[in-house]
Structure 1
Amino acid sequence: MHSENKRDFDAVADQWDQEPRRLKLAQDVVAAMRDSLPLNPGMDALDYGCGSGLVTLGLHPFVGHITGADSSKGMLEVLNKKIQAQAVHNVTTLPLDLEHQQLEGSFDLIVSSMTLHHVQDVTALVATLSNALKPGGWLALADLETEDGRFHDDPTGVLHHGFSREFLTGEFARNGLTDVAVVTAASIEKKGPDGNPRRYPVLLCVGRK
């Protein structure tokens, strides 16, 4: 990620969960993942770009263990406080450079929500995540469907204006994933420049190694 276009997530970490629309989006994505994936207590999962852990904690009751990975120390501190406050025993955190650091270990499930548009080389990222799956493991990536660039009020750190269904399924197939499917996980409503509401779909692409 280019330093001149990188958002300071540490600075907004403490206020991140105060946006109702953000909470609703995480709930919708978790619901779509539950519908689309064979979640089970034997799964060792990773939430890549977990932020404050909204999706991480939404999934933890349905898997054996889940690691929340993020490059923002501030976001991980918020998640760690939640883990302690809720006495959750199957969630851990991992500081991880989302752009340059390779993943170690292998997982039964890797999920990510609203992270792809902050990563410069998405093709390389999908390959990295696919390689970190165990045979039979699942990859599930959620992000905005291609939009006109008006979704983000502050474009800092936004490197892509969403992704098409064809791009996502193509990258999954390129990395040998099967049972690839795309669903609309959520729809975010925001007022456009003309004051009228606009809907921005969030896609969830899943595939099995």
Structure 2
Amino acid sequence: MSTGNLRFNAAAAGWDSNPNVQKASSLAYDAILRYFPNAHNFDVLEIGCGTGVLSLKIAAHVHSLTAVDSAEGMIEVLKDKLFQTPEVKNILPVHALLEDPDDPRIRPDPTRAGIEEVEKLAPRRFDLILSHLVLHHISDLPAVFRTMFGCLKAGSSIALTDFEDFGPEARRFHPEAKMDGVERHGIPRKEVEMMLKDAGFVDVKVETAFRMEKGIETVPGEGVKGETMEFPFLICMGRKL
């Protein structure tokens, strides 16, 4: 298990109490619906779902949502939420580090009743793939983009939101005590655009989706004490022919 996952497992129980988590998820939700307003029949794959803050919002607008996270603690919190809201029947929580589009753990359709042997199910492909504040934690982005490409149906899309690497000040997004598992300080716009094209995506767009005011450390390492800073968030989109 990576040290990043250890950190997220430890933080899972209190994750939803962080106002920045709630604010960023709400802004990402608004942006996704703005770009994809007619997703009612979509089967969605969310990579890096955390405790499902965004998942539960999006699930109300789509046919199904398969919510994947490599931190087991996060998935356990999401499972508990779903247990407490039995009316939500279209989310499948999956603990996995997804590296193979044919992974049997993402094959079940959460909207279908009954238990089936997942190995006997055909590989599943999706209409839309989401991730939110995940890309900056991933060391090998080209590999993840190739996996996403393989998980899509022909003609389907990705919509990935994360804060932008706009220079040295982007480092201030995270307090120094929370740098464990941070692979990069935001998403470099042009580099990600080229990576998506190299992975096979067409109609690639990487553009500013929203901006968010966030508390930062005035002095690195001393904790957030009131100063705020505005961070631009990108949405990275592309389509599989």
- Is the structural similarity TM-score above 0.5? yes
Q: Which residue of 2 aligns with 1:179?
A: 203
Q: Give 2:97's aligned amino acid.
A: D
Cα distance between partner residues in 1 of 2:213 and 2:147: 29
| Contact in 1 for aligned 2:42/2:64 (Cα 8 Å) | yes
Shift of 1:38: 4.6
Give the secondary-structure state (helix, strand or coil) at the position aligned to 2:173.
coil
The yes-or-no answer on 1:191 pairing with 2:216 is: yes
Q: Which residue of 2 aligns with 1:150?
A: 172
Work out the number of aligned pairs and report it: 206
Larger Rg: 2
Q: In the superposition, relative to structure 1, how do residues 185 and 90 fare at CA in structure 2: closer, same or farther (>3 Å)?
A: same
Q: Give 2:198's aligned amino acid.
A: R
Q: Give structure 1 stretches of 5+ with no counterpart.
A: none
What is the aligned counterpart of 2:144 among 125, 129, 146?
125
Q: Which residue of 1 aligns with 2:21?
A: 22
* Residues 154-163 or 183-192, more deviating: 183-192
Q: TM-score, normalised by structure 2?
A: 0.79
Cα distance between partner residues in 2 of 1:206 and 1:168: 10
Shift of 1:19: 0.8
Q: Which residue of 2 aligns with 1:136?
A: 155
1:181-202 Cα shifts (integer Å, max 9, x gaps) = 2232332322342664321212
Shift of 1:177: 2.0
Shift of 1:125: 0.7
Shift of 1:22: 1.1
Cα distance between partner residues in 2 of 1:67 and 1:22: 20
Give the secondary-structure state (helix, strand or coil) at the position aligned to 1:84.
helix
Aligned counterparts, 1:54-69, within 5 A: 54-69=53-68
Give the secondary-structure state (helix, strand or coil) at the position aligned to 1:8.
helix
Cα distance between partner residues in 2 of 1:20 and 1:129: 29
1:111-149 Cα shifts (integer Å, max 9, x gaps) = 000111111101111111112111011111111100532
Give the secondary-structure state (helix, strand or coil) at the position aligned to 1:112.
strand
Q: Give 2:204's aligned amino acid.
A: V
Shift of 1:172: 2.0
* Residues 186-195 or 24-33, more deviating: 186-195
Q: In the superposition, relative to structure 1, how do residues 107 and 162 fare at CA in structure 2: closer, same or farther (>3 Å)?
A: same
| Contact in 2 for aligned 1:25/1:188 (Cα 8 Å) | no
* Residues 30-39 or 177-186, more deviating: 177-186
Shift of 1:206: 1.4
Aligned counterparts, 1:1-40, within 5 A: 3=2, 7-40=6-39
| Contact in 2 for aligned 1:7/1:156 (Cα 8 Å) | no
Q: Give structure 2 stretches of 5+ with no counterpart.
A: 103-123, 220-225
Q: Which residue of 1 aligns with 2:127?
A: 108
Shift of 1:50: 0.3
Cα distance between partner residues in 2 of 1:39 and 1:10: 34
Give the secondary-structure state (helix, strand or coil) at the position aligned to 2:94.
strand
Q: In the superposition, relative to structure 1, how do residues 69 and 39 fare at CA in structure 2: closer, same or farther (>3 Å)?
A: farther
Q: Which has the higher contact order (CA 8 A, sep 6+)?
A: 1
| Contact in 1 for aligned 2:42/2:128 (Cα 8 Å) | yes
Q: Which residue of 2 aligns with 1:73?
A: 72
Shift of 1:67: 0.7
Q: Give 2:200's aligned amino acid.
A: G
Q: Which residue of 1 aligns with 2:114?
A: none
Q: Give 2:174's aligned amino acid.
A: H
1:31-81 Cα shifts (integer Å, max 9, x gaps) = 101111254222111110100001111110111000110111111111111
